[in-house]
Structure 1
Amino acid sequence: MPFQHVLVAYDGSEQAQSALLRAKELVRSIPGSRLTIAHVFHYPNLVVGEAMIAAPVRMELDELSDSERTLDEAKELATDLPNAATALLQGDPARALLDYAEELQADLIVIGSRGLSTLKELFLGSVSHYVVQHAKVPVLVIKNPDDL
Structure 2
Amino acid sequence: MINKILLADSGTGHSEEMLKVLMEIPPLRNANVTVLHVVPSQITTDVMTEKWEEGGKILANAIQNLNLDPNLVTAMLRQGDPKDTVCKVAEEIDADLIIMGSRGLKRLVSILENSVSQYVFQLSSRPMLLVKDDLYAVRHIQRVMVAMDKSDSASQSLKLALFLLRDVKDGQIILVHVNPDLSGKSGTTLSSTEAERDPVLAPAIAEAKRMGVGYKCVVTSGKPGEEICRLSEEMHIDLLMLGSPDRRPSIARGLPDLDRLLGTSLSDYVRVHANCPVLLARTNA
TM tier, shorter chain? 0.7 to 0.9
Measure, in 2, the Cα distance between the counterparts of 1:127 and 1:42: 12
Q: 1:137 to 1:72 in 2, by over 3 A?
A: same
Q: How many residues align?
A: 132
Runs of 5+ consecutive residues of structure 2 not aligned to the other structure: 105-109, 137-274, 276-285
Measure, in 1, the Cα distance between the counterparts of 2:14 and 2:86: 16
- The Cα RMSD (Å) is 2.5
* Structure 2 partner of 1:76: 64
* Structure 2 partner of 1:111: 100
Query: Cα offset for 1:145?
Result: 6.0
Tell me the SS of whatever aligns to 1:141. Answer: strand
Runs of 5+ consecutive residues of structure 1 not aligned to the other structure: 45-54, 116-120
Which amino acid in 2 is paired with 1:3? I
Tell me the SS of whatever aligns to 2:125. Answer: coil
Larger Rg: 2
Identity of aligned residues (%): 27
Measure, in 1, the Cα distance between the counterparts of 2:63 and 2:29: 21
CA contact (8 A) 2:41 2:81 kept: no
Higher relative contact order, structure no. (Cα contacts within 8 Å, ≥ 6 residues apart)? 1
One of 31, 35, 49 as aligned partner of 1:61: 49
Alignment of 1:4 onto 2:3: yes
Deviates most, 81-90 or 94-103 = 81-90
Which amino acid in 2 is paired with 1:63? K
* Structure 1 partner of 2:167: none
Query: Cα offset for 1:122?
Result: 7.0
Tell me the SS of whatever aligns to 2:5. Answer: strand
One of 69, 78, 83 as aligned partner of 1:94: 83
Q: 1:23 to 1:140 in 2, by over 3 A?
A: same
Measure, in 2, the Cα distance between the counterparts of 1:129 and 1:5: 21
Q: 1:65 to 1:132 in 2, by over 3 A?
A: same
